[in-house]
Amino acid sequence: MSASSTKRKVPVTTHLYEDQVQMLNKIAKELQVTKAVLFRTAVEQLLKKYEEKQLDIGIK
C-alpha cells in the first residue's frame, strides 16, 4: 500500500495528546511537510509492520 496519485484520500479525525501535536508540528516544520504527510507515512509503516507480523503495540 504505497502512496499513489490514483488513490482517493479520505478525511480522518482522531484525538492526540497535546505534546504529540506539538512534536508533530515541530517535525513537520523542520521537514517542510504537512502533518498529513507525516500521518500517511506513519500509517504506511504501521501497516507494513502488521503485514510482516512485526507489530507489537502492547495490546491484545
pLDDT in tens, 6-45: 889 999 999 999 999 999 999 999 999 999 999 999 999 9
- Nearest in space to 2 (alpha carbons), one of 33, 38, 47, 57: 47
- Nearest in space to 37 (alpha carbons), one of 47, 28, 50: 28
**Residue-level pLDDT at 56:** 77
Q: What are phi and psi of 4, to 5 degrees?
A: -150, 145
Q: What is the DSSP letter of 8?
A: P
